[in-house]
Amino acid sequence: MFNIIKNVAKHSVIYGLSDMLSRAIGFIMIPIYTTYLKPADYGTLELLDLTSYIIGLFLAMGIAQSVVRFYYEYKEPEKRNQMISVAMITLWIISAVTLVILFMLSDKVSVLVFQSADYSKYFKIIFITTVIGLSNEIPLTLLRIEEKSITYVSISLSKLVINLTLNIVFIVKYNLGVQGILYSGLITGTLLGITMLTVILRRLRMRLSYSFSMLKAMFAYGFPLVWNWLGLFVLNFGDRFFLQRFAGLNDVGIYSLAYKFGMLPNVLILSPFLMIWAPKRFDLLKEPNAKEIYSNVFTYFMFLQIFVGMGIVILIKDTIHIVSEPNYWSAWIYVLPILLAYIINGMYLYVQFGIHLKNQTKHLAYASLLAALVNIAGNFILIPIIKIWGAAITTFLSFAFLMAYVYFPSQKLYHISYQWNRIVHMLGVAVALYLISYFIPLKSPSLLLIIKFFIALTFPFILLATKFYTTQELNKIKSIINAIRNRLWRRKDEQPLQIG
């Protein structure tokens, strides 16, 4: 079992590096964004990105996820290639038709989002970028399925370097602001698109074919996921539009910065984990102790989520004070409820396995749409009264509802005995460490950051002292430590003796 977990962990670390690289630009650029962009500009950029996301959501039609689902069902290479070909051709057709329509409607979309047609030129840029990004999804998905993690990371690193360089040039040198960031994304996406087109055509050996029966099966699985993701979009991002209407772009900018830090468990843990786990969990069904593996992996996954989440909450105030301008400093107080919501989101995405296994994705659509209604109602009631706090609290409550709604039908379809007592144990330790760090009587942000960092690092050792780890886990930890120690001593012994 530990060998399987080791394989998942290895590729998750590599994909984690990739995901961090692809998203790192948002964090690396925070000092520049907060210096050269006003909170209102930051809010504008956020709303443009969210509009791009929701358009891409509908255009994708769940096709990339269908490729993940059916990849292992087609054993013959010819059938697999045909399935990939169907996915690519379908995306190309949908994207081309939709791009023409979106260009014609750019003024109306601008009025809908910003109550002004002045932003239509921005929307035309993001429409093109979104369509190009969709064409990249299938090749990148294949790299994940086939565990070509090094190639995946190399692509992400190249994308980061290009995007970062262009952002700095357009914002700092040419002072193009929001428009410069959009141009940077378009150029980077185009270069990646050319590379991915080469990859996919080589993979298919330049042979494209189509099958309506395959397309029907892929839509039957993938299309309900679109409604699931629509609900999730509202949960994740709908509050920005409410804030824009009831509070203004300035509050959207501050809340968006808080959200960027609150979502870090997703970036650092959840996204890389799911890149390997989403296809791997189906492959593990053949194992005789599959349910035990699923249970243990969930516990270790939650350990990482809670550990990272606790560290972020402990360090967030001082971090924001160091990396941003004073008009953004209030963002730190909104991070905690957002971060808790995203830890719950990680749980939700893990425990829904039974629904995917039995192809009952309609349950996910129902859950997401109902949670979206809860979110809309909460935002409509709370944001006009308590502004940003209303958005943050509603986000937490909505994800808690989503998790509860999905957990029970998934367990009914495929029961897994999750180790909830151990999850509570970890949460208790995390809360205790957070409270200790909160009441440290120091005023220097830099010194506080160092002290709090070391407090956060005590988490696994406090778990050891409170007898969290099983005997099997302790033995495995000891064997890993011994293996590392032996390797280090071996390298030391192998060093050539210097004479003279």
Residue indicated by tokens 């959840």 = 270
Residue 59: the pLDDT is 76
Residue indicated by tokens 């957002």 = 338
Contacts of 405 (CB under 8 A, 6+ apart): 366, 367, 370, 371
Residue 156: the pLDDT is 79
Residue 303: the pLDDT is 96
Q: How wide is the angle at C-alpha 152 spanned by C-alphas 147 and 312, nearest 5°?
A: 100
pLDDT averages per 10-residue partition of the chain, 500 residues: 55 57 67 84 88 80 77 79 85 87 92 89 93 84 77 82 90 90 93 85 74 83 75 82 89 91 87 77 82 92 96 92 87 95 94 86 84 93 95 95 93 93 97 92 80 95 94 87 76 52
Helix axes 271-283, 120-145, angle to 10 degrees: 40
Residue 137: the pLDDT is 82
Contact 278, 68 (CB under 8 A): yes
Residue 35: the pLDDT is 83
Give the CA dihedral 10, 12, 14, 20, nearest 10 degrees: -150
Q: Counting every residue, how long is the chain?
A: 500
Q: What's the distance, CA 15 to chain centroid? A: 12
Contact 426, 305 (CB under 8 A): no
Residue 379: the pLDDT is 95
Residue 497: the pLDDT is 46
For residue 414, what are the CA distances in angstroms to 69, 274, 357, 408? 17, 19, 8, 10
For residues 41 and 45, give the distance between their C-alpha atoms in angstroms, rounded to a whole number.
6
For residues 232 and 144, give the distance between their C-alpha atoms in angstroms, rounded to a whole number.
23
Residue 419: the pLDDT is 96
Burial class (CB in 10 A: 0-12, 13-18, 19+), 441: exposed
